[in-house]
Structure 1
Amino acid sequence: MFPDRESVFHLLARYLFHPTNPVWDLITRFHEAYLTGADEKIGLQVRVFDRPGPFQHVLDQILSCTMKENILPQINPKAPRRPALNSSCVWASTRKNKTKVVLITSLSSWYGDKIRDMYLQNPTLTGEVVRVHQPSHEEKQKYEETLHYSKALAEMYLLGMSDRLVTSGCSTFGYVAQGLGGLHSWLMFAPKNRKVPDPPCQRVASMDPCYLLRPADTSKTPLLNYTRSCEDREWGLKLFPAG
C-alpha cells in the first residue's frame, strides 16, 4: 500500500483528517489575506518547553538556522537610508522585488515581533521583501478550550502549505505540520543550558512524524528495515525511505 515508506502518515492524514467547516474557514481566510501572492512561503514553528520565556537564545537559534540555511535573507543594517518618495514612487520602486512571507506559529508573540521588526527596520542584502505574520499567540496551552485547538489545527495546515518549513524538535505540532505538507523540514534541536546548539538545525531525512515513545520491543517488527531513531530524539522511532 505504501511503496514510499515515509509517506504513510502524509497519505493517511490527507485521507482521514478533514477539518470542520469553521476550521477550514480559518485556514482559507488567513491564507488568502496574508500568504497568497508571495514568491515563497516560509513556515516557522516555534515550540519552547522551558518556562517562563521568551528567550533570547531561542531567537538566536531561529535566526542562525534560517540564515545559515538561506531560508531567510541576511539583513544589511549599514545600508544608506532612501530619501522619502511619494506613494506612487514607492510602489514603483518595490513592486519588482521578490517577496518572502513568513508564517510563524508560537504561543508567544515575542519571536514573531522581533523578526518582523528586524526586517521592517533593515533592508535585506538580496533586496527581497520579507513579510511576517502570526495567526495567534495564546501565551499558554488552553487544554479545555475548543477554539484553542481549532486554531492549532488550522495553523498546522497553514504550515503544511509552506514552500520551506522550520520546526522545533520534539514537537508534535511541528511533526504533524510537516507530515500534512509532505515536507522535509529543517529541525531545530532543543537547546541545552540555554545555548544555541551547533548546528542550530538539520534537514530531516524523512517527512514521517516521530513516534516519541517507541514500543518496548521493535526487534520483531516487520518494518524494522524502514525504521530508525528520530533525528531529534534517540529513543523515538520513525519511518524512513528504503536504504
Structure 2
Amino acid sequence: MDLKKFWLPVFIGILIFSPCDAANSRNSSAKNWSKSLDATFPEQLRRGLRSCATVASPGEGGVCKILAAMDEQLKILAAPKNRDPPPRNSCKFKSDNGASLHRYATDRSPALQALLDRYSAMHSACVARDHDNLHHIIAKNTAKITNPSQCRYIVWSCTFGLGNKLMSLVSTFLYAILSQRVLLLEESPSWDRLFCEPFIDSHWKLPRGLSLKDDQSISFPDFYARCRGRLARSDACRSQPVLPIVFSANTKPEEHRFLVCPSAMASVRNIPVLNFRNSNQYFAAGFFLNPSLRPILEAIFPERRVFHNLAGFLLNPSDEVWGSIQSLHSMKFRGASRRIAVQLRESKGDYRDYYDASVPRCIRSKSGLCPIEIDEFLESKNKSIASDDYIAVYVASLVGEHAAKLNASLRDVESQTGQRFELVTLGADEEQRDDVDHQQRALVDIWSLSLADVLLTSHMSTFGYTAQGLAGLTPYFLKPWRDDPCWPSVSSDPCFHFAPSKKLSCREDGFSLSGRESGGAAMACPDLPDTGMQLLEPP
C-alpha cells in the first residue's frame, strides 16, 4: 500500500480536529470563553457562579461553575418531595467490585468524581420531585401541573445495535453533566435486565406509558435559526417544551453546531426537555471542539479516556449478565497466563474466509508471546506443550464458522510457538437480534472482550469500540486486505464516525473549524480518516 496516500487524510484530520485556529486562539481569551460558558446556564442557576471568579485555571473554573450550578439546582429543590424513592435494587457487579477485572482501568479524576457525585444528588432530587408531572411537562400540557418543574431533562432513545446504543448513551450522559440536565431513558422494560440502576435510591427511566417517539417538534437547526440572538427572547422560543437532537450518519452540518458552538449550546438552556432521539454516534468527542468546554473536559479527563471513565460509572451489568461474566472469567480467564480477545464483525451475518489467515498471524505477532528457540523446541522429542499454562483466546462473532476455523489454526500456532491456546466463545447467533436474551449475550460478549490483554477487533465496529472503551485498552484493527493486517488504533476512546466538518462555522461566536492548528487532542480515526474523529491519549 502507498503509505503517503494513506497518511495524507490522517494528517489532514489532525489539522481539522483541533480546538481552534491560530488566529482565533490569539484573539480569544479564556475570559471570553468563560463568559460563553456562563451563557449556557439558565438564569436561575447562575447565582453561585460568582464564587468561582477567583479560580485562575479555565478548566478548574469551568468545573467550579458546573458544580455551583448543580448546587443551585439542589437549593431550588429543597421543598418537600412528591413521592417516596423507589426501593434500592441489587447490583452484585458493584458489591463484587466487578470493575477490578479490567486490568488496564484508570481512576476517575477528582474533578470528574466530584461532578458525578453532585450530578447523582441532583438526578435523584429532580426525579423524586418531578416524576409524577413528567407526563404533563413533556405532553406540553402545563396547565395540569400543580407543582411546575424546576429541573431540565434529556430523554435518550435508540433503536440501533447494542454498541451504537452504549456509545450514544455515554455521550448523552456527558452532555447531561455539562448542562446540568437529568438523563432519562425511553427504552424497553428489558433494559434493567441488561444494566443495574446507576443512581442509588432513584431511577433513570421515563414513567411507564410516556413516549417521545411521535413528537413532532422542530429540529435543532430550525430552532437555532429561528431563536438565536435577539429572537431567543421571543415567546415562541421560550414555549418550546421539547427539542429533538440527532447525531447519525445522516446528520446535517448545522446540527453539529450544537456540539461545537457555545452560542448554539446557550440557545437551548431554557428548553425543558431535549430528546436525544435515535443517535447512533459517539458524539462525546465532538464537545472537545467547543472552546468553552475544551478546558473543562481536559480537567475532567486528563487522560482523555472519556468513554472508559463514564461507562465505569453508568454501565454496570445486571445480576443476570454479571453472573455469566463471572462464570466465564472463573472457568476460562482466571487461570490463563494471557488473554487475547478477537471480535469479528460480519455486517450481513455471512461467513467470509479472509479473516482465517490474518487472525492467527495477528495473534502470533501482536500478543506479546515470549520468543523461544523454536528449532530446539521442535527437535526435542520429549518436549510437550505445558498443560498447566495456557493462553485464553476469546472469540465474539455472529458467524460460528469463524471460531471453528480459528480453533483449528491455533493448533498450528501452538506448534510454532510452544504455547498452548484455549479458545473460548459463547457461540454465534448468526444474525443481530434485539430480544433481551440476545442482548444479554451480546453484553456478555462485550464485557468478555474487554477483559483481554490484547484486543483484536474489526475496523469501524461499534461493538469493538465499546469493548476497548470499557477496558481502557488500545486495540489492533483487523484489516485482512492489508500487508500488515493488524493495525494499531490511536487510543482506547471510540471513534466519532461522522464528526463535524472543517467547513463548520460558528458565526455568532466568531470562529470556524477550518484552517486550525493541531492542539493534539484528536486526530482522524485510523479506520475512518475521511469523516471520523478520535481523541488521543496524552503521551
Q: Is the pair's TM-score, using the shorter chain for normalization, greater than 0.5? A: yes
Cα deviation 1:197-227 (Å, max 9, x = unaligned):
2221212221110111113438559x96412
After superposition, the Cα gap between the structure-2 partners of 1:123 and 1:198, relative to the gap in structure 1 and judged at 3 Å, is: closer
Answer yes or no: is the 8 Å Cα contact 1:73–1:124 preserved in 2: no
Q: Which position in structure 1 is the counterpart of 2:476?
A: 186
Q: Which has the higher helix share?
A: 2
Secondary structure at the aligned position of 2:416 is classed as coil
TM-aligned CA deviation for residue 73 of structure 1: 9.3
Q: Which position in structure 2 is the counterpart of 1:198?
A: 483
Answer yes or no: is the 8 Å Cα contact 2:458–2:477 preserved in 1: yes
Secondary structure at the aligned position of 1:63 is classed as helix
Percent sequence identity over aligned pairs: 28
What is the number of equivalent residue pairs in this alignment? 223
Larger Rg: 2
Q: Which position in structure 2 is the counterpart of 1:239?
A: 535
Answer yes or no: is the 8 Å Cα contact 1:97–1:128 preserved in 2: no
2:331 to 16, 33, 58: 33
- Within 5 Å, give how 1:96-135 maps onto structure 2: 98-120=389-411, 123-135=414-426
Answer yes or no: is the 8 Å Cα contact 1:104–1:112 preserved in 2: yes
Q: Which position in structure 2 is the counterpart of 1:140?
A: 431
1:227 to 505, 508, 522: 522
* RMSD, matched Cα: 3.0
Separation in 2, partners of 1:55, 1:172: 19
Q: Which position in structure 1 is the counterpart of 2:499?
A: 214
TM-aligned CA deviation for residue 151 of structure 1: 1.0
TM-aligned CA deviation for residue 34 of structure 1: 1.8
Q: Which position in structure 1 is the counterpart of 2:456?
A: 166
Gaps of 5+ in 2: 1-299, 506-511
TM-score, L = length of structure 1: 0.80
1:176 to 466, 470, 475: 466
Separation in 1, partners of 2:464, 2:369: 19
Answer yes or no: is the 8 Å Cα contact 2:360–2:409 preserved in 1: no
Q: Which position in structure 1 is the counterpart of 2:303?
A: 4
Structure with more contact order per residue of length (Cα contacts < 8 Å, sep ≥ 6): 1
Answer yes or no: is the 8 Å Cα contact 2:346–2:399 preserved in 1: no
Determine whether 1:156 maps to 2:454: no
Answer yes or no: is the 8 Å Cα contact 2:477–2:486 preserved in 1: yes
Letter in 2 for 1:240: L
Separation in 1, partners of 2:413, 2:328: 26
Separation in 2, partners of 1:109, 1:72: 27
TM-score, L = length of structure 2: 0.38
Determine whether 1:68 maps to 2:359: no
Answer yes or no: is the 8 Å Cα contact 1:73–1:125 preserved in 2: no
Cα deviation 1:157-208 (Å, max 9, x = unaligned):
111111111111010000010010010111113x5xxxx2222121222111
Separation in 1, partners of 2:413, 2:527: 33
Cα deviation 1:66-103 (Å, max 9, x = unaligned):
233355799x9xx69x79xxxxxxxx965466311100
Cα deviation 1:25-58 (Å, max 9, x = unaligned):
1111111122220100101111123x46312212
Q: Which position in structure 1 is the counterpart of 2:272?
A: none
Separation in 1, partners of 2:490, 2:428: 30
Secondary structure at the aligned position of 1:151 is classed as helix
Letter in 1 for 2:328: F
Letter in 1 for 2:327: R
- Within 5 Å, give how 1:10-25 maps onto structure 2: 10-25=308-323
Letter in 2 for 1:55: R
Gaps of 5+ in 1: 84-91
